[in-house]
A and B are shown apart, each in its own frame.
Chain A
């Protein structure tokens, strides 16, 4: 009698184990492509937030929205120059009062038309603190922005109130015209309006009553060349919008963003031709240019590319009030000259960065190379300047955040300073980026601190005003020069772009003289593609230009 019972128990046990596997829910496969339709697979990742442009600032959701949203201004895929898309014209007599005229008949994916109120309502909604959108700061130049912020910034749950519901600087004139009034002259407003956060939401968005518009975000409707058709945990699918009204129609019928949590897996899949495009090449494949030999088509042609992106990395010198040892400009210049940027770029970054010689990124309008003469490696002159200034009461602290892979290059920089200036240098890390920012904000850190800046819009101005204007939000070194501030104001009010750029370049000469921040490097993105793709372009924003993808026949 015992034996059958025991076997029975064993069977129950095995059945329990198997339960999980059989109870598996399989996901619905994608419908097959119709005859003659094309498809590519692209590396994707899980969006961190509901897919609403004003609450998306990471690439996972951003890359999708970039393809699905139509904006007033489209950035050229090669040089990021602004081109009018939904806008017919954006004009201003004084760089303060702007009139935006829209193209008529520009349609959303649900068949409704983009009208002026869509823009005004979207911007008012996104900027309002009651909606707690991550990207609200993009609207800060519009008059009335301060009135839609909470009156008490540290408000407790219920005591949060804004002075107004909408921004006074926005007004609808008629169905196809609206006006923008800015606080200050903003001659580059047009350049700013191309970011997805400015894309208009359709009426369906405002009809959604769910908290944070999460229901709308499940299947967002936009007016761009691609429509989001399915979102699952393994893939996000966008399909070409047949009735797209703009000039940047997609070249591939269906794009499948396959979800990867790891850059290595995606890269290996591209090498094996299982995935068509990846925008990430893992650091260990960059060593010795291994990736360039991995990614070669059968006919020997490369299936990889690089593109300069709008990311600037520098080091801020601690302000005089925190670190009196940094007060002498010669000390700061000596430290900068003691660093051989090219060597670090080559050895540590495997050429995934470019040594910076200016304050900004080469992808933006108004960038001029060679502005930073103190960025040229010259250890004799560095030592001379350093000794003449009487030296720094060491050890010099170099502050980076510990969660961004900054250890290798900071050690290299420190060693060069040590060797070339005979100045003791120690790398200090904070547990994460936020702690670094908090401690810099409290002006606690001495020595030099990492300063990264990713552009919000492709203009040299974005690399200057927020970082070096007196009292600006990211002015970590407390730089203040009335002449610099004047140049910023004049440039913002300039009537032409060329004139403005000249003034920005003059301001960079001041930065070179006063040297509050030393440029370190600008970033390059690497990408790879399968043999199925003949050519694909990466934009200066590290996204792909899906309107010009060519497939191998």
Chain B
């Protein structure tokens, strides 16, 4: 197990390097100029422009900029953004909020999604099954910014059940954004659980278990569910990336002071240093979460061994 984790951690290094190179390059080749619009409806003075370009290495060719950035990154320095603040600090203060949001979304996804999937699976073709199928279809087909905007208007503004926006990031304020963020993944998780469960319920070992006289609860709850959850867990891990992308939209709608909002602001300000730093962090989080998921496989299915 230890060896496996070590191997996976070592594998992260080339992935992170590749990711930074790619993001840095994409960011570098964006049309337009970081100085665009910085001085309002007039060009910046030559002295200001020269000082700004020198400070952020913008006057250097791409490869020099990248190597300098990488050199700093190796020392754990994510650089200084166009607001003159340390990117590492900016991320550190926002990270807890986004993690809270993601945990709410994932909990929602895992609990509600899996439960709905089980209900639909064991009552295949009945009302509850159709209800799950139709309602998940709605969430899958509506983009997250519509779900966000509508639920903010409906549950926040009109009904007053939730705070309209989140200022300081308390759990109560993050609840609605978290649910919105998880709404797409919850639909997929439910459908995945249902399909997987339905398939497994037809398997030979289930028939054997039933013939042996095991109760339905035990057949489904212990034997079938464990096998059915494997693809769901894989999906939940992978959906973490989708959540991070969705967080950019959700956090903006609900004014959550998290990584997503930060990335959005940085992109719109062409603050390349911030974008690269934030995305690199997301890549690392994504890799770690997927490592955790892979370790969890062993718990669900003892046949899968990492030794």
A453→B84 contact, CB < 8 A: no
Does B88 count as interface, using CB distance less than 8 angstroms?
A: no
B36→A27 contact, CB < 8 A: no
Does B48 count as interface, using CB distance less than 8 angstroms?
A: yes
Nearest A-chain residue to B83, judged by Cβ: A48
> Of B121-129, B202-210, B217-225, B293-301, which binds chain A?
B293-301
A154→B103 contact, CB < 8 A: no
Does A489 count as interface, using CB distance less than 8 angstroms?
A: no
Does B286 count as interface, using CB distance less than 8 angstroms?
A: no
Nearest A-chain residue to B264, judged by Cβ: A261
Tell me, rounded to whole Å, the shortest Cβ–Cβ distance linking A529 to chain B.
16
Does B51 count as interface, using CB distance less than 8 angstroms?
A: yes
Tell me, rounded to whole Å, the shortest Cβ–Cβ distance linking B246 to chain A.
15
> Of A15-23, A31-39, A347-355, A411-419, which binds chain B?
A15-23
User: How many residues does chain A have at the interface if contact means C-beta atoms less than 8 Å apart?
Assistant: 68
A133→B103 contact, CB < 8 A: no
Nearest B-chain residue to A48, judged by Cβ: B83
Name A49's contact: one of B42, B83, B254 (CB within 8 Å): B83
Q: Looking at chain B, what size class is its interface with the partner chain?
A: 35 or more
Give CA–CA (A130, B48) in the complex, Å.
9
Does A403 count as interface, using CB distance less than 8 angstroms?
A: yes
Does A274 count as interface, using CB distance less than 8 angstroms?
A: yes
Nearest A-chain residue to B289, judged by Cβ: A17
Name A48's contact: one of B41, B261, B269, B289 (CB within 8 Å): B269
A154→B37 contact, CB < 8 A: no
B164→A268 contact, CB < 8 A: yes
Tell me, rounded to whole Å, the shortest Cβ–Cβ distance linking A326 to chain B.
23
Give CA–CA (A136, B100) in the complex, Å.
44
A133→B48 contact, CB < 8 A: yes
Give CA–CA (A13, B157) in the complex, Å.
38
A20→B253 contact, CB < 8 A: no
A129→B292 contact, CB < 8 A: no
Given A134-B48, A272-B156, A272-B164; A434-B299 close (CB under 8 Å): no
Give the residues in chain A near B38, CB-CB below 8 Å: 48, 134
Does A391 count as interface, using CB distance less than 8 angstroms?
A: no
A21→B47 contact, CB < 8 A: no
B45→A134 contact, CB < 8 A: yes
Tell me, rounded to whole Å, the shortest Cβ–Cβ distance linking B287 to chain A.
13
B47→A150 contact, CB < 8 A: yes
> Of B6-14, B89-97, B180-188, B190-198, which binds chain A?
B89-97
Name B296's contact: one of A13, A47, A431 (CB within 8 Å): A13
Give CA–CA (A279, B301) in the complex, Å.
57
Given A234-B257, A265-B254, A403-B37; A434-B32 close (CB under 8 Å): yes
B54→A157 contact, CB < 8 A: yes
B47→A433 contact, CB < 8 A: no
Q: Mark A225-259, 1 if CB is under 8 A from B, else 0.
A: 00000000111000000000000000000000011
Does B82 count as interface, using CB distance less than 8 angstroms?
A: yes
Given A25-B96, A27-B168, A474-B42; A265-B253 close (CB under 8 Å): yes
Does A300 count as interface, using CB distance less than 8 angstroms?
A: no
Q: Mark B32-55, 1 if CB is under 8 A from A, else 0.
A: 110111111111111110111010
Name B157's contact: one of A133, A262, A272 (CB within 8 Å): A272
Give CA–CA (A430, B50) in the complex, Å.
23
* Contact residues of A between 8 and 56, Cβ < 8 Å to B: 9-10, 13, 16-18, 20-21, 23-27, 46-50
B84→A57 contact, CB < 8 A: no
Given A133-B48, A264-B253, A271-B157; A24-B167 close (CB under 8 Å): no
Which B residues are within 8 Å of any A CB, using their own CB? Answer: 1, 31-33, 35-48, 50-52, 54, 82-84, 90, 92-97, 99-100, 103, 149, 152-153, 156-157, 160, 163-165, 167-168, 252-255, 257, 261, 264-265, 269, 288-289, 292, 295-296, 298-299, 302
Which A residues are within 8 Å of any B CB, using their own CB? Answer: 2, 6-7, 9-10, 13, 16-18, 20-21, 23-27, 46-50, 57-58, 129-130, 132-134, 136-137, 149-150, 153-155, 157, 160, 212, 214, 233-235, 258-262, 264-266, 268-269, 271-272, 274, 403, 431-435, 437, 441, 452-454, 473-474
Q: List 18 A-B contacts (CB under 8 A).
A: A13-B296, A17-B292, A20-B100, A24-B100, A25-B93, A132-B47, A134-B44, A136-B48, A265-B252, A271-B157, A272-B156, A274-B163, A432-B32, A433-B41, A434-B37, A437-B42, A453-B41, A454-B40
Beyond A24-B96, A262-B252, A432-B37: 16 further Cβ-contacts under 8 Å? Answer: A6-B298, A9-B298, A17-B289, A20-B99, A27-B168, A46-B265, A129-B47, A132-B52, A133-B48, A134-B44, A137-B45, A234-B257, A261-B261, A265-B253, A403-B37, A434-B37
